[in-house]
Amino acid sequence: MAIAAVGQICSTASMAHNLQQCRLLVQKAVSAGAKALFLPEASDYIASSATETVSLVKSVTDSEFVLGLQDEARNARLPINVGVHEPAEGGKKVKNTLLWIDDKGEIVQRYQKLHLFDVEIKNGPILKESNSVEKGESILSPFDTPVGKVGLMICFDLRFPELSLSLRHRGAQLLTYPSAFTVPTGVAHWSTLLRSRAIETQSYVVAAAQCGPHNDAGTRKSYGHSMIVSPWGEILVELGGANNMDGKVTGRRDIPEIAIAEIDLPYVEKVRREMPLLRRTDVYPEIE
Ligand SMILES: O=C(O)CNC(=O)[C@H](CS)NC(=O)CCC(=O)C(=O)O
């Protein structure tokens, strides 16, 4: 069995500040004996506007944040899964990407967010991710890691079970949803969606979340509640976060923080063996 660590931070527009938070989490993960550390979506920065998001972007070879984390991974011999921004072709938009950095500090896997968060909720969040982000075009097949075969997804992808089922179909044992969920949608849906994806796919779900206010003006806040869910749908560990619409953070609020859980791959196989989820694709052929 191997230990996975899920990390929670509050990114601002400062890459240096965000790297400092992640460095601390690497130390904590190493002390806890973790074999992989999972960090949130947009760990490198969270800006206050689409224009600022685009203006801050750096390629991975120029990003002090990514280069710094690669050093950390290499020195600690710890694989790190981290959400960052990368420049898109044309310079007008960015990619919302998730990197897998291996224990030698190399970027060995990369996933680009498929579903973009464009919402206009009355008295709720109004966010148009597509103003600044270019959507991805393909699923990244699951790959081997010290915590099993991992399938990568990001945040709003969580609302599309087709994607998780497809990754499961391709052999995933652990699914990731690094996120920056809004407070109202997090209160309403976060844990239910994560548990549903774990139960449907009979996989571990690791969801590293941004938590708290991302700027002094308080115009952008994230829900928190990073968690690891078992293939039976049990929340194994959960960090603190906002609990109601006012967005105030309660519970384990020390940020940055990690939580750890054992990833038991024979247990994944046991759950799948005991309750085979055999799809009736003869009846609904459009769903794999
Ligand atoms: O803006 C960045 O730089 C990082 N990206 C995000 O924070 C993204 C797009 S705005 N957030 C989500 O997808 C939240 C989804 C959500 O809250 C839900 O599905 O309810």
Q: How high is the pLDDT of residue 243? A: 75
Q: How high is the pLDDT of residue 23? A: 98
Torsional sign, CA 152, 153, 159, 161: negative
Question: Using an 8 Å Cβ cutoff, are 120 and 143 in contact?
Answer: no
Question: Using an 8 Å Cβ cutoff, are 151 and 167 in contact?
Answer: yes
CATH number at 9 reads 3.60.110.10
Q: How far apart are CA 136 and CA 175, in angstroms?
A: 18
268 belongs to a structural domain: yes
- Look up 288 and say whether it is catalytic: no
Q: How high is the pLDDT of residue 253? A: 46
Give the Å distance between the CA of 236 and the centre of ligand 1. Answer: 24
260 belongs to a structural domain: yes
283 belongs to a structural domain: no
Helix (H, G, I), strand (E, B) or coil at 122: coil
For the chain, the domain total comes to 1
- Look up 22 and say whether it is catalytic: no
Q: How high is the pLDDT of residue 285? A: 83
Q: How far apart are CA 86 and CA 80, in angstroms?
A: 17
pLDDT in tens, 238-257: 999 987 666 666 654 457 99
Helix (H, G, I), strand (E, B) or coil at 115: coil
279 belongs to a structural domain: no
- Look up 41 and say whether it is catalytic: yes
155 belongs to a structural domain: yes
21 belongs to a structural domain: yes
Question: Using an 8 Å Cβ cutoff, are 84 and 97 in contact?
Answer: yes
Helix (H, G, I), strand (E, B) or coil at 49: coil
Pocket of ligand 1 (CB under 6 A): 41-42, 46, 53, 96, 117, 127, 129, 155-156, 159, 180-182, 185
Q: How high is the pLDDT of residue 146? A: 98
Which member of 113, 134, 149, 211 is catalytic?
A: 113
- As for the ipTM of the complex, it is 0.95
Q: How high is the pLDDT of residue 246? A: 66
Residues of the chain with pLDDT under 50: 252-253
**201 Cβ neighbours under 8 A, 6+ residues apart:** 164, 165, 167, 168, 172, 175, 231
285 belongs to a structural domain: no
287 belongs to a structural domain: no
Which member of 10, 22, 155, 211 is catalytic?
A: 155
Domain ranges, residue 142: 2-274
Give the Å distance between the CA of 183 and the centre of ligand 1. Answer: 11
Q: How high is the pLDDT of residue 218? A: 83
Look up the pTM and report it. 0.96
